């Protein structure tokens, strides 16, 4: 479900399906309790059509989806009543893997050992957008929610590596985070710390310059004092400070900065989807 809806791997194998089929699956994945009425699905997927035309489109899409997957493996099943549809339990998708592992990493300290390796592989592999190219409001909201989850989980994972002193892994995790969200200063600081602690002070200083440049270009502001203080310490030859374990895994920027306003806006979108998260918890 992450990427262009052409042949997306579901259940471990690629399935070719028209875009409308992937949209139906994605819509049910984002619905409360992953279930919706047929009328609601038809209206959401074909808003420009009349009721009867939309229902015919839904019937055709259901037939094509079931034919592509087979009745036994189809991710779209009957809901609690004859007029509802449901995303079937037990079906694996990359979006679900990202959601479940990212949420687990944010609700408790990231796992260790093989579980941490699986989390890292998932976060680094799941770079595509949810139903890329689909601009329906429900798809845009889910796309941003999953993006927020992935970025915050990447930071939490990098912070866990930092607490363990695994600085090469800190760099390997923080670098893609900075690439995905270049305006996120806590990610830049984490990468600067990783570079410095692994013996690459020059790269740490260069990372600060990259951070300052993107903030000036995009927002017209300077880095936060915390970022500047870290740069001064590294530029002056001091040792990089150890991560403060008393701070939350995903720190928030100071409320007076423009950067904080942007983060708050993005986080408010995720917060608005809290009802979806609560519904997913019951799934």
Please compute Rg for the chain using Cα positions.
22
Quote the pTM value: 0.78
Residues in the chain: 283
Q: pLDDT per residue over 160-218, tens digit each? A: 999 999 999 999 999 999 999 999 999 999 999 999 999 999 999 999 999 999 999 99
- Least confidently predicted of 25-34, 65-74, 123-132, 174-183: 65-74
- 9 pLDDT band, cuts 50/70/90, is low
Q: Could you tell me the CATH superfamily of domain 94-281? A: Tetratricopeptide repeat domain (1.25.40.10)
Q: What's the average model confidence in pLDDT over 97-118? A: 86
CA gap 169, 166 in Å, rounded: 6
139 in Cβ contact with 24 (< 8 Å): no
Instruction: Evaluate if residue 260 carries a pLDDT over 50.
Output: no
| Residue whose pair of structure tokens reads 């990783």 in the numeric block | 194
Query: Hey, what are 252's tokens?
Result: 């928030």
Q: What angle do CA 265, 270, 271 make, to 5 degrees?
A: 90
Nearest to 86 by CA among 149, 131, 33: 33
Q: What angle do CA 41, 24, 50 make, to 5 degrees?
A: 40
């Amino acid at each position: 479900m992450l990427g262009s809806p052409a042949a997306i791997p579901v259940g471990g194998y690629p399935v070719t399906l028209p875009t409308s089929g992937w949209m139906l699956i994605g819509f049910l994945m984002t619905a409360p309790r992953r279930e919706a009425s047929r009328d609601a699905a038809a209206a959401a997927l074909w808003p420009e059509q009349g009721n009867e035309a939309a229902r015919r489109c839904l019937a055709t899409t259901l037939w094509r989806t079931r034919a592509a997957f087979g009745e036994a493996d189809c991710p779209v099943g009957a809901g609690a009543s004859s007029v509802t549809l449901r995303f079937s339990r037990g079906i694996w998708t990359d979006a679900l893997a990202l959601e479940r592992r990212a949420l687990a990493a944010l609700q408790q300290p990231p796992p260790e050992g093989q579980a941490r390796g699986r989390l890292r592989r998932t976060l680094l592999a799941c770079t595509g957008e949810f139903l890329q190219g689909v601009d329906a409001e429900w798809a845009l909201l889910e796309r941003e929610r999953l993006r927020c989850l992935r970025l915050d989980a990447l930071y939490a994972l990098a912070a866990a590596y930092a607490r363990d002193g695994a600085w090469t892994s800190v760099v390997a995790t923080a670098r893609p985070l900075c690439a995905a969200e270049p305006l996120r200063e806590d990610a830049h600081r984490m990468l600067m710390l990783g570079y410095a602690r692994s013996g690459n002070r020059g790269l740490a200083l260069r990372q600060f310059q990259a951070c300052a440049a993107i903030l000036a270009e995009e927002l017209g502001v300077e880095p936060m004092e915390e970022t500047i203080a870290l740069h001064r310490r590294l530029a002056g030859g001091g040792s990089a400070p150890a991560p403060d374990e008393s701070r939350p895994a995903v720190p928030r920027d100071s409320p007076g900065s423009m950067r904080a306003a942007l983060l708050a806006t993005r986080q408010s979108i995720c917060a608005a989807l809290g009802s979806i998260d609560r519904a997913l918890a019951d799934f």
